[in-house]
Amino acid sequence: MDMWLAGITPRGEFDPSRYPLEPDYSDPQAWAARPHTPGAAAFAPDGMEVIAPAEAKVDVFFVHPTTFVGTGNWNENISAPMEETRAGEIVAELIMPGQAGLFNGCSRMYAPRYRQATLAAFFKPGEDGRSALDLAYSDVVKAFRHYLEHDNKGRPFILAGHSQGTCHLMRLLAEDFDPVLKPQLVAAYLLGFKITAEAAKSFAHVATLAKGSADTGCFIAYDTFLEGIDALRQPDQAEHRYDSGWKPRGGKPVVAVNPVNWSTETSSNKAQHKGFGVVEVNNPALLAGLYMPGPDTALGLRATGMQGAVLPGVAAQISKDGFLEISLPEQNFMNVGIFGGNYHNRDVSLFYVNLRENAETRVAAFLQQ
């Protein structure tokens, strides 16, 4: 772990004079997906409907997780086309179909590229990591404002993200979300960033934790661990930013809802789990090297489709500390690369079908109102 972290940590301090070029969100190149250029975000498993943009009555603004492990700078340079860099390739070929795409049955897609902070910012936050996250957040706010000004036109919308994407959306809700927009918010899917109760209070004026499958104006959150793991006491250096300061999240209980039965208290069984979603790619061997140290050059990875629903599923429950605990998946490929029982990189794929159906349920409930 120490050698890996050393290999992905930028060699110098965060330097404002070396900022990557600021994105221009009037340029289609600055978006990973838009309604008429969705790329692989348009993929769905066989039998699952993809709605045409002209028919969708709701939008989704999706912020992708960390895919950049470069060491030349603390933030990704997104001036190159996505297919030319490893970080961009992961967004386009894995994150867009596997995460953003689960909303393509009910929503138009807006997914910005942004100068994401490198992965080391979460393992070694300090002033360098915080500055990198501040820069990344400035892009997310700019992209959201561009979407509101040029594309939204008063339409309902979903906010969605995972990991670093959720980190920025939490801050957006707490600091830069105009209260006038609250009636338009269908729900916020804030997955995979250990939302403490204290952090949730910072945006409670906008959304509170969902208590059922059809709640709207709420947020959905969970962090997935294997049952029997003491998630609360696992090492965790990452920080939240709220109340105008950075605060550690490790060692604190979190808030969550079970994405199978949408309960905060009741466990769900395997029969209630509707299936995993798996991105099919041209060369599965490439997946092993995605987050290893090395230059940010493309590997040639390409998504070819989505597989789902993959069954049998898993049993799940919310622990006393608020973490989502699951039974061991029977499929070996779902357990590859899992360390310490932490299924962070599978937060979405584990519950793909349940999440996809739930997004459609919340949209329908919102429109009926």
| Residue-wise pLDDT tens digits, 190-207 | 999 999 999 999 999 999
Q: Tell me, what's the pLDDT at 61?
A: 99
Predicted model pTM: 0.97
Q: Tell me, what's the pLDDT at 294?
A: 85
Task: Identify the CA nearest to 142 among candidates 60, 58, 23, 35.
Answer: 23
| Residue 235 CB coordination number (10 Å) | 9
Q: Tell me, what's the pLDDT at 39?
A: 97
Q: Tell me, what's the pLDDT at 289?
A: 85
pLDDT at residue 244 above 90?
no
pLDDT at residue 1 above 80?
no
| Residue-wise pLDDT tens digits, 101-137 | 999 999 999 999 999 999 999 988 799 999 999 999 9
Weakest-pLDDT range from 29-33, 294-298, 316-320: 294-298
Mean pLDDT of 303-325: 97
Mean pLDDT of 245-268: 96
Mean pLDDT of 243-253: 91
Q: Tell me, what's the pLDDT at 343?
A: 98
Q: Tell me, what's the pLDDT at 3?
A: 82
- Taking the chain, what is the end-to-end CA distance rounded to the nearest angstrom? 50
